[in-house]
Structure 1
Amino acid sequence: MEPIRLAILGATGMAGRDALRHQQWLSEKERQYAEITYVTAGPTSVGRPLRARYEEREAALAKAYPDIWEAQSFPSSLDHLTIQEMDPDQIAMHADYAISALDSEVARTIEPELARRGVHVFSNSSAYRWDPQVPLLVPEVNYNHLPLVKKQETSGKRICNPNCTTAGFIPIVWAFRQVGCTIASINLTTFQSLSGKGDAIADPEYVARASSPVWVDWKPRDDRPGMNEEEWKSSYEPQKILGRIGTMEELDAGIRAQELGQSSSLLPISSRTHRIRQSYGHLERVDIQFKSATFVDEAIRVLRECKIPEEVAFLPTTPTWLFYVTKGKPSYEKNLLAGGGMSITVGDIQQVGEHTLRMWSLSHNLRRGATWAGRQGLELFLSQHVDDWNEFFHRLRQNR
């Protein structure tokens, strides 16, 4: 089969560069199905070789954080690419699919324009996560939300993946739900790596701030006292993913009901977020209160025996195992790249009450939490909309 034509939007940013590395990873694993035909970056980069801008960004980070940062190599198979303008007509002329690693303000303008021109967009941006016609997708958890795209009037379809912290714990919630465990509430505490903030971390003022082991890195929301933007996302994006609500209006109603002590459609999730001096990977402490007694041995069994749905398991980016379970707290050195960076490692599971378990999860924020997840969503879309690709992906899986 001819490979699909794929654009990477925001290709020189932190998540965009990892999208380029993912392209190489798929080729090395002999699972490739796409050709990158168009890449964009900021206006000052237009016309420059992609390699040059990529390597400048990586070198700047290695210089700013010599003790923790190793510059990642540029995929040599992409040496021919030059950075192009963010022109929807040009993008649509050269690509049929796009992975978007754009800032939200840019994404808000360009992504609908691409969809109107027939380009299918798989976005890491938060701009359209709450559009009721746009699936907010974690394929293993809610692959059945993909048909929402049929409500979109454009010939090109738009799909979003959630924020990186949500991606690291919501599959755990799903796994317990699959075996009939009812969750009463979740307390989430995150310790998020520097790469989650993007290349702004190379700024000298930020480098000085990042000399601390732990700090808070987000501004408070005006509409939610005591909650910052990241905490808002990780408390409420899971509600749409789990199918509890589908619109911002339903979310607002659920929040009001909680505040009044009334019955609410929302799963109570309390989130506290922190930044840490680590290059990649988000470590999260997840306290889950169940409605009935649940014990450590049962939790270990549920996670170890968890099966990825067959609708998703055969996709090229899907890992063999969704979870790896460790006795102690997950290790960056040993566990960050489990499943190619698409598996979640869960460890140090403790009983902290008859109905409450505490566990730690480690996930790769740029892979499970960003553009690799977007590419997995693209694969799901292809498998459900093009019979030939469905068959091709199944053959790839058989050869692994």
Structure 2
Amino acid sequence: MINVGVLGATGAVGQRFVELLSDHPWFNLTTLAASERSAGKPYGKVVNWRLETPFPEKIAKLKVTAITPSAMKDVDLVFSALPAEIAQDVENTFADAGIAVCSNASSHRMEPNVPLVVPEVNPEHLGLIDVQRDAGRDGFIVTNPNCSTIMLVSALAPLRKFKFSDIRVATMQAISGAGFAGVAAMSIYDNIIPYIGKEEEKMETETLKIMGTLKGKKVVNAPFQVSASCHRVPVIDGHTMAVWVDIKEPVETVKKAYADYKPPIKGLPTQPAESVHLCAEEDRPQPRLDRMRGHGMTVSVGRVREGLRFVAMGHNTIRGAAGASVLNAELISKKKYL
């Protein structure tokens, strides 16, 4: 077993990490770190558990530590659910101290030597870990993308065999993507908010890096353009998006590509049986009905039409956040980077 910890363990994504790691077959959750006001107290006493799954009582008595490498010296890897402005320096400190960091924060995603990974899409980009180590770092940082970007690139992965140069996407994003207190009730009830700070820029840049090619010590961006428009809608969990891609192949050919799709990796505990599910129903996917497919790790695609147009949807705090980071860690372990 590999000893792991969670940074920011009391927040929305931190709680998802705890949920996914409490009974993990490869990882032993030994350390939970949070703010100074929680440090030294049992996790069960300081966390306001808000997930729909029962609180994992086995970790209730774990004492919360400070967010420092010295307080987590017995772990091999940490999962970061820290806000970006805090993660920037903290994650570097942990990596410099010889600890592997799997981060859900945006701070390091676009740095040239940091892998931005979705295992079913670009597992080879983990080669950038060697670039970090060659520069003298004992640990390393690996990031997963923004929650909406993960849904988009997962839905695009089966289409790589086709030629395209232009992608347009309009998202309908759940309120849980903004954290427990991220959107005021009076702002989102009976409403749609047509702006999410920096979300469009993340989709437009991260997608190109993820679907790019690792050449030597750097990633060459994918040769297409992404234009995104992002919206917050009154759905609790599950990001939905309408996607337009300038693919000329017939719809049936595209549907067959989805049906035949086999991810380049297998044998990871968190990986679902279907990374991408093609919905046959004309009114699917829907967040309430499809977000927990594959235990929340499957991206569902439907309404594939001429144009090419389709709808993609996935669980934003599982597939789009904590689950993605845990899957990255499993791939890192499988490839013997720890």
TM-score range, shorter chain: over 0.9
Question: Equivalent of 2:278, from 325, 339, 343?
Answer: 325
Residue 262 of structure 1 corresponds to which residue in structure 2? none
Kindly state the Cα deviation for residue 44 of structure 1 after the two structures are TM-superposed: 2.0
Does residue 1:81 correspond to 2:62, yes or no? yes
Question: Equivalent of 2:212, from 243, 247, 256?
Answer: 243
Residue 349 of structure 1 corresponds to which residue in structure 2? 304
Distance 1:149 1:244 in 2: 15
Distance 2:182 2:41 in 1: 23
Tell me: CA distance 1:244–1:272, structure 2 relative to 1, closer, same or farther (3 Å).
farther
Residue 141 of structure 1 corresponds to which residue in structure 2? 121
Residue 101 of structure 1 corresponds to which residue in structure 2? 81
Q: Which amino acid aligns with 1:241?
A: I
Q: Give the fraction of aligned pairs with identical amino acids, expressed as a percent.
A: 28
Residue 397 of structure 1 corresponds to which residue in structure 2? none
SS at match of 1:94: coil
Does residue 1:282 correspond to 2:242, yes or no? no
SS at match of 2:16: helix
User: Is contact 1:313–1:320 with CA below 8 Å preserved after alignment?
Assistant: no
Residue 163 of structure 1 corresponds to which residue in structure 2? 146
- Which consecutive unaligned segments of at least 5 residues does structure 1 have? 59-69, 220-228, 255-264, 390-400
User: Is contact 1:315–1:379 with CA below 8 Å preserved after alignment?
Assistant: yes
User: Is contact 2:117–2:328 with CA below 8 Å preserved after alignment?
Assistant: yes
User: Is contact 2:125–2:214 with CA below 8 Å preserved after alignment?
Assistant: no
Does residue 1:32 correspond to 2:15, yes or no? no
Residue 259 of structure 1 corresponds to which residue in structure 2? none
Q: Deviations over 1:326-367 (max 9, x none)?
A: 12220223211111111111011122xxxx211111111111
Distance 1:299 1:13 in 2: 39
User: Is contact 1:117–1:156 with CA below 8 Å preserved after alignment?
Assistant: yes
Kindly state the Cα deviation for residue 212 of structure 1 after the two structures are TM-superposed: 2.9
Q: TM-score, normalised by structure 2?
A: 0.92
Kindly state the Cα deviation for residue 43 of structure 1 after the two structures are TM-superposed: 2.2
Distance 2:320 2:276 in 1: 15
4+ runs deviating over 6 angstroms:
none
Kindly state the Cα deviation for residue 384 of structure 1 after the two structures are TM-superposed: 0.9
Question: Equivalent of 1:192, from 160, 173, 176?
Answer: 173
Kindly state the Cα deviation for residue 278 of structure 1 after the two structures are TM-superposed: 1.1
Aligned residues: 331
Does residue 1:339 correspond to 2:320, yes or no? no
- Which consecutive unaligned segments of at least 5 residues does structure 2 have? none
Q: Deviations over 1:52-93 (max 9, x none)?
A: 333x252xxxxxxxxxxx7542112212212211122212x1
Distance 1:320 1:192 in 2: 25
Kindly state the Cα deviation for residue 166 of structure 1 after the two structures are TM-superposed: 0.6
Distance 2:214 2:274 in 1: 28
Does residue 1:360 correspond to 2:322, yes or no? no
Residue 41 of structure 1 corresponds to which residue in structure 2? 34
SS at match of 2:294: helix
Distance 1:321 1:71 in 2: 23
Q: Which has the higher helix share?
A: 1
Distance 2:26 2:334 in 1: 12
Q: TM-score, normalised by structure 1?
A: 0.78
SS at match of 1:20: helix
Q: Deviations over 1:135-193 (max 9, x none)?
A: 0001111001111110112111110111011100112222111xx20112111000010
Distance 1:197 1:12 in 2: 15
* Cα root mean square deviation, aligned: 2.1
User: Is contact 1:244–1:266 with CA below 8 Å preserved after alignment?
Assistant: no
User: Is contact 1:318–1:376 with CA below 8 Å preserved after alignment?
Assistant: yes
Residue 62 of structure 1 corresponds to which residue in structure 2? none
Which structure would you say has the larger Rg? 1
Does residue 1:173 correspond to 2:156, yes or no? yes
Distance 1:239 1:349 in 2: 23
Kindly state the Cα deviation for residue 218 of structure 1 after the two structures are TM-superposed: 2.6
Does residue 1:124 correspond to 2:104, yes or no? yes
